[in-house]
Amino acid sequence: MKTPQLSFVIGYWSLVICFLSFAVLAQDVPTADRRASEVRHLDLTYEFKPYKSKEEWQARASYLRGQILFAAGLWPLPEKTPLNAKVFDLVDKGDYTVEKVYFESFPGHYVTGNLYKPKNITGKLPAVLTPHGHWAYGRLENQPLNSGQGRAANFARQGYVTFTWDMVGYNDSTAITHNFASHKEGLVRESLWGVNILGLQLWNSIRAVDFIESLPEVDRNRIGVTGESGGGTQTFLLYAVEDRIKVSAPVNMISSTMQGGCLCENTPLLRIDTNNMEIGACMAPRPMMMIAATGDWTKLTPTVEFPAVQSVYQLFEAGDKVKYTQFDAPHNYHRESREAVYGWFAHWLQGRQEITPIKEKSSAVPTLPELMVFYGRPRPANELNEQQLAESLIAARKKQFEAALPSNAAGLETFKSQYGKALKYALMAEYPAADELSTTMKDPPGIRLISRRNQKDLVALQIWRPTRDKRSKQKPLDSYVLIASPESEFVSGSKDLIEQLTKAGHTVAFLNCFPGKNGSEEPSKYKFIATYNRLNDANRIQDILTAVAYLNKVKGNGRLSIIGLKEAGLYAMLAKSYLTGVDQMVVDATQFDNNNDADYLKRVAIPGLNRAGSFATAIAISDFTPLLIHNTGNRFQADKIEQLYRTLGKPENLQVKAEKSPDSAIVTWLTPVAEK
């Protein structure tokens, strides 16, 4: 077949450019796509974006809460099953008591810890939650740099009901290791479903709030949280998603230069386009004390992190509700730090006028047998191991999604607010506004470079205009077709299709999606790449959205269709959840097995994608415009998509074919009958 001639006419595009309000000079377009070369990571130095108004910040904070919950696998929220809490073995320590506690945060997964109370209780008391950091002995640590026992005991002496519990894999929490669902070397099956140790610990924290406020002696309107190091991360993640937390003190953790080095602090998607300063500021306008040290990554708190967080409080005219205290010490939660926090909590939770430190009282601490939950006691018979817990969580998420699939308009709106929101957090993409696009031409003629302003991407489109015989009386169609390809070379294997489309009267734009390996492989130089960066497949979806936004402006009132070749057919189906102004779409399902997690990891590796409902959600929240899915090979199961088109759209707009459609059939399907 004859190779299609490039009939890109400079005069034609000059005319188009005159009408494009977003066209800019070439120097405004980056010279290269920087998404692969400029990698964000946990030790990068981050800046805090200032916010102009309280309303702007509130919108951002609401978005961040959703991002945290989805990254943790907790959006839509799981069912809060019975805690079945056990509180036992009370020990009287003179001016306070301590008891052992365990409860089920998920069925078969147990949170273990200790409950400290004042000796004599009258009326309702404030409560304090105290997660611990990565110390060798966890909640049982008792040394000069940190004493989890001393902290809990002194809070109890001062009139608080205090609960301290184990990180996963520490002390009594041994059924699950601290390496649960690890993605250090790349995504794993659990990553697709939002099953991760950060989410497990955050859910444990949320259920700890449920537990503490269920106690009859606790005033549920006066609950605070404080933790150090990794416990500081648990602290700010909890208050970011929980309005029930009224006062907080994250200790030695909110930093611009180190975001937390453990697996339990770095789940995929968590810090894409954000950092711990922003997450930390989600406490505003509730009272918060930031504790810092000169000998760790919070050494810049007085000049960097605190002013950043304070700027958010000032939007609420609540500057008096945030404070920092820095100590000349290594990484710690030592006595001086604790005493500063006691004073802060007493002011806001007990009505003490002063904010000055409160001195600790020293006394004998409980013995290990008095603290260890399962000392001399059998573990629960229904306790799950790692594999069982992962399978249980995945099964629960599948069941939750099946129950949420909409069958009517009212159900669709609820579905959009839950799973539509979830998918947007999984894909982390945007449909850019026309005035956010910068464009320029590139040699050879026919290539247009497109970039989103203030982003690092660069998308190249190669354009072909219609090539109908000049003797024909037929006019070129007012129709544009975007061909999205995953191949590493422009137009490789697509020349016949392009020629047939241009002969049929279509203007064709060819997009080579973001390059790089498919699947879940991560660069070895940095840990937790997916925590801070969109992976390749998500970038490819963004490229399709950017190209469509550009073509929607160019085409005016013309038609726009999309052809997704090979894996780009899968990307296009997911991009459909964002798209507007697209009349029809043809996607190659590439015999992708959408019921096989291993196939996702190999070909569409996007964290949380299956948790969000994947292709079914993308279709459900999109316009039910004509869609041809071919080359399913009876592996890509389209039953949910077919059901959605039947109940919510027009069933005649959907065609599903097991075999691969030839180019001629695709062109026929896309070309309006009246124009053929």
Assigned domain for 442 exists: yes
CA dist 635 → 218, 304, 608, 659 (Å)? 55, 53, 21, 11
Say what the pLDDT of residue 14 is.
31
Q: How far is CA 453 from CA 34, 189, 460, in A?
A: 13, 35, 15
Mean pLDDT for the chain? 92
> HEC string of 344-367?
HHHHHHCCCCCCCCCCCCCCCCCC
**Confidence band for 30, pLDDT divided at 50, 70 and 90:** confident
Confirm if 215 and 161 have CB atoms less than 8 A apart: yes
Per residue in 110-159, pLDDT (tens digit) is 999 999 999 999 999 999 999 999 999 999 999 999 999 999 999 999 99
CA nearest neighbour of 358 among 593, 154, 195, 193: 154
Structure tokens that stand for 55 in this block: 């309303």
pLDDT of residue 207: 99
End position of a domain, from candidates 346, 366, 383? 383
- Same domain for 418 and 520, yes or no, is yes
Question: For residue range 243-279, what is the model confidence (pLDDT) as tens digits?
Answer: 999 999 999 999 999 999 999 999 999 999 999 999 9
Strand partners, 481: 508, 561
* Separation of alpha carbons 374 and 364, rounded Å: 22
Distance (Å, whole) CA 640 – CA 615: 9
**Which pLDDT value is given to residue 23?**
41
Give 520's pLDDT tier (boundaries 50, 70, 90).
low
Q: Examine the pLDDT at 22 and tell me if it is beyond 80.
A: no
Q: What's the rounded Cα separation, in Å, for the pair 310 and 308? A: 5
The confidence band for 176, taking pLDDT boundaries of 50, 70 and 90, is very high
Distance (Å, rounded) from C-alpha 69 to C-alpha 75?
Answer: 5
Mean pLDDT of 11-24: 34
Percent of the chain residues topping a pLDDT of 70: 92
Strand 109-118 with 437-442, pairing:
unpaired
Confidence band of 224 (pLDDT split at 50, 70, 90): very high
Question: Per-residue pLDDT tens for 86-112?
Answer: 999 999 999 999 999 999 999 999 999
Q: Decide if 402 is inside a domain.
A: no
Cα gap 305→302, rounded to integer Å: 7
User: Rounded distance, CA 116 to CA 139, Å?
Assistant: 13
Residues of the domain holding 483: 10-31+408-671
One domain for residues 353 and 412: no
Strand 627-630 relative to strand 559-564: parallel, antiparallel, unpaired?
Answer: unpaired
- Do 378 and 448 fall into the same domain? no
Within-domain flag for 580: yes
Same domain assignment for residues 354 and 430: no
Tell which wins on pLDDT, 336 or 4.
336
> What's the pLDDT at 444?
67
Evaluate whether residue 346 is within a structural domain: yes
Is 133 inside any structural domain?
A: yes
| pLDDT for 11 beyond 70 | no
Residues 48 and 57: their CA atoms lie apart, in Å, by 12
Q: What is the percent of the chain with per-residue pLDDT over 90, rounded to a whole number? A: 84
From the list 536, 510, 661, 521, the residue with the least C-alpha distance to 590 is 661
Q: Are 171 and 372 in contact (CB under 8 A)?
A: yes
Nearest to 147 by CA among 367, 344, 333: 333
Q: Are residues 330 and 462 in the same domain?
A: no
| pLDDT band, very low/low/confident/very high, at 36 (cuts 50, 70, 90) | confident
Q: Are 360 and 338 in contact (CB under 8 A)?
A: yes
Residue 412, phi then psi, degrees to nearest 5: -65, -40
Q: Based on the fold, state whether residues 226 and 367 are members of the same structural domain.
A: yes
Task: Say if residue 276 is in the same domain as residue 340.
Answer: yes
Half-sphere exposure of 265 (CA within 13 A, CB side): 25
Domain identity same for 606 and 565: yes
DSSP structure string for 55-78 = HHHHHHHHHHHHHHHHHTT-SSPP
- Amino acid identity for residue 343 in this structure: G
Picking from 455, 448, 452, the residue whose alpha carbon sits closest to that of residue 434 is: 452
Measured distance CA(161)–CA(633) in Å, rounded:
60
Tell me which of 272-281, 285-294, 467-476 is least confident.
467-476
Q: Residue 543 and residue 564: Cα distance in Å, rounded?
A: 12
Distances (CA, A) of 531 to 35, 193, 244, 500, 512: 15, 15, 27, 43, 26
Please state, in angstroms and rounded to a whole number, the distance separating the CA atoms of residues 187 and 260: 19
Judged against a pLDDT cut of 50, whether residue 10 lies above it is answered with no
484 and 617 belong to one structural domain: yes
Residue 48: inside a domain, yes or no? no
Whether residues 427 and 549 fall in one domain: yes
Give the span between the Cα atoms of 23 and 357, in whole angstroms. Answer: 60
What is d(CA 605, CA 567) in angstroms, rounded to the nearest whole number?
Answer: 11
3-state helix, strand, coil in the chain (%, to 5): 35, 20, 45
- Per DSSP, the three-state class of 567 is helix
pLDDT value, residue 12:
29
Residues with Cβ < 8 Å from 391, sequence gap 6 or more?
none
**Cα–Cα dist 340/325, whole Å:** 8
**Domain for residue 4, yes or no?**
no
pLDDT score of 27 more than 50: no
Q: Are residue 468 and residue 564 in the same domain, yes or no?
A: yes
Domain shared by 432 and 319, yes or no: no
H or E, element range at 512? strand 507-512
Cα–Cα distance, 166 to 316 (Å, whole number): 35
Please give the pLDDT value at position 37.
Answer: 87
Residue 610 in any domain: the answer is yes
- Amino acid identity for residue 669 in this structure: W
pLDDT band at 362 (very low <50, low <70, confident <90, very high): confident
With 90 as the cut, is the pLDDT of residue 388 above it? yes
Q: 299 phi and psi, to 5 degrees?
A: -65, -20
Mean pLDDT check: name the lowest of 265-269, 474-478, 527-531, 614-618.
474-478
CATH code of the domain containing 509: 3.40.50.1820
Q: Report which of 254, 450, 401, 250 is spatially closest to residue 337, judged by C-alpha positions.
A: 250
| Block residue for tokens 């002696």 | 217
Average pLDDT of the segment spanning 421-431: 98
Q: How many domains does the chain have?
A: 2
Q: Which of 441, 608, 562 is nearest to 70 (CA)?
A: 608
CA distance 69 to 62: 11
